[in-house]
Amino acid sequence: MSFRIMGTGSYLPPLSVTNDDIAKYVDTNDEWISTRTGIRSRHVATDETASEMGAKAALEALKDAGIQADELDLILCATVSGEYIVPSMACLIQRAIGAHCPAFDMSSACSAFLVMMETAAAYLATGRYRRILLVGTEQMSRVLDWTDRSTCILFGDGAGAVVLEPGENYLGSHMVFMGGEEVLNLPTNVGNSPYWTLERPRDTVNMNGGETYKFATRTVPQEILALLEQTGTQQSEIDWVVCHQANQRIIDAVARRLKGIAPEKFLSNIADHGNTTAATIPLLLDECNKKGMFKRGDLMVVAAFGGGLSCIASLIRW
Ligand code: UT7
């Protein structure tokens, strides 16, 4: 047994920050950012935390699914920019939406939403849970170094959520995990042990952009092709590709490798949102869903990559 998506929701903080706005803080410009990344603006929180944004997305997904919070059996959340290490984001959202079910977080950076889908499918297969809420929510603006032009231009804030129930619409996944912190990391730097002798890390996003780019353009097509082979699916059968929104050039490079899928099937909202890490996939799914773009039965590849390093591709029937 796998799952069916019952409903989707998302939330963006109201402030939209353009590339020209960012050029007031760091030595950059709209032309560089838009041609190298496809990003023109991103939403940035001014007075809302990741859990508050996540709760708003969750409530919208519940409404879309037509169920109440107390009908949920499990809440899974993902974030790299939550306001606490303890309690979990899932517990904060559980209380905010008035749910009473088990709730815990899954950590897998930008791949986390698909890791949660994989986990939810396994839980639903046990028959123990029937309604699972997944939330990806990020306040990336609070974990960026706003003097580092190589990272602060890329990310945005926002949240997305889906509600799942048992069904037959999760058709498979293929993934690769390569442990290591060199390419992409976000250290924690809390406490003040008088016994600690080593240097304390900088607790903001650190990224080797070139290496991340190479990893993504190599592994995303590789995992999608492996997924299609594993599930006996032809590229021509795919109606939509929902890729992690990190850089439009990465999405375009993946599209060039998958020649059997028309370029217009690769969905994108990165121009207005930037990279919202664990929230990119549910945000994009919700926006396209609300625009009425998806028809029941549409076949979609959903693919994500990120810190870990990790890359995962999943096949879903809408
Ligand atoms: O979900 C997390 C995953 N993260 C990603 O997927 C990021 C993947 N990587 C990328 O998207 C790209 O590597 C970046 C957009 C981060 C960088 O693009 P790039 O084409 O790889 O540029 P670069 O790092 O090679 O830098 C080229 C030049 C450098 O100047 P010099 O050394 O050639 O003089 C940089 O200093 O561009 C300079 N540069 C900038 N210039 C203006 C770097 N950032 C900026 C900037 N504005 N914001």
pLDDT tens-digit readout, 101-131: 999 999 999 999 999 999 999 999 999 999 9
Quickly state the pLDDT bin for 12 (edges 50, 70, 90).
very high
Same domain? For 287 and 180 the reply is yes
Tell me the mean pLDDT in the region 37-66.
Answer: 98
Instruction: Name the residue at shortest CA distance from atom 44 of ligand 1.
Output: 150
Per-residue pLDDT at 140: 98
* Ligand 1 centroid, distance to 151 Cα (angstroms): 8
Summarised one tens digit per residue, pLDDT across range 257-298 is: 999 999 999 999 999 999 999 999 999 999 999 999 999 999
Tell me the mean pLDDT in the region 15-29.
Answer: 97
Per-residue pLDDT at 196: 93
Question: Is the Cβ–Cβ distance between 235 and 254 less than 8 Å?
Answer: no
Same domain? For 107 and 195 the reply is no
Same domain? For 176 and 256 the reply is yes
* Ligand 1 centroid, distance to 239 Cα (angstroms): 32
Nearest to 112, CA basis, from 94, 89, 95 = 89
Q: Give the residue numbers annotated as catalytic, written as ranges.
A: 110, 244, 275
Which one is predicted more confidently, 189 or 135? 135
Same domain? For 234 and 134 the reply is no
40 lines ligand 1 (CB under 6 A): no
Question: Is the Cβ–Cβ distance between 84 and 66 less than 8 Å?
Answer: no
Quickly state the pLDDT bin for 302 (edges 50, 70, 90).
very high
Per-residue pLDDT at 214: 97
Residues 6+ apart with CB under 8 A from 10: 57, 60, 158, 159, 160, 161, 279, 282, 283, 286, 287
Quote the pTM value: 0.96
Same domain? For 7 and 101 the reply is yes
Quickly state the pLDDT bin for 180 (edges 50, 70, 90).
very high
Nearest to 249, CA basis, from 22, 54, 41, 33 = 33
Per-residue pLDDT at 201: 86
Q: Considering the chain, what percentage of its residues have pLDDT values greater than 90?
A: 97
280 lines ligand 1 (CB under 6 A): no
Same domain? For 16 and 147 the reply is yes
Last residue of a domain, one of 144, 168, 192: 168
Same domain? For 144 and 219 the reply is no
Residues 6+ apart with CB under 8 A from 201: 187, 189
Last residue of a domain, one of 148, 168, 188: 168
- What average pLDDT does the chain have? 97
How many structural domains does the chain have? 2
Per-residue pLDDT at 129: 95
Which of 36, 111, 184 has most ligand 1 atoms within 8 Å of CB, for mutation? 36
- Residue 153 CA, closest ligand 1 atom number: 48
Last residue of a domain, one of 113, 142, 168: 168
What is the CATH classification number for the domain harbouring 125?
A: 3.40.47.10
Same domain? For 110 and 158 the reply is yes
Quickly state the pLDDT bin for 137 (edges 50, 70, 90).
very high
Cα separation, 81 vs 179, in Å, equals: 21
Tell me the mean pLDDT in the region 160-189.
Answer: 96
247 lines ligand 1 (CB under 6 A): yes
Domain containing 293: what range? 172-317
Cα separation, 248 vs 242, in Å, equals: 12
Question: Vertex 95, ends 90 and 97: CA angle to 5°?
Answer: 95
Which of 153, 213, 243, 277 has most ligand 1 atoms within 8 Å of CB, for mutation? 213
Same domain? For 186 and 227 the reply is yes
pLDDT surpasses 80 at 1: no
Write out the two tokens for 316: 């879903």
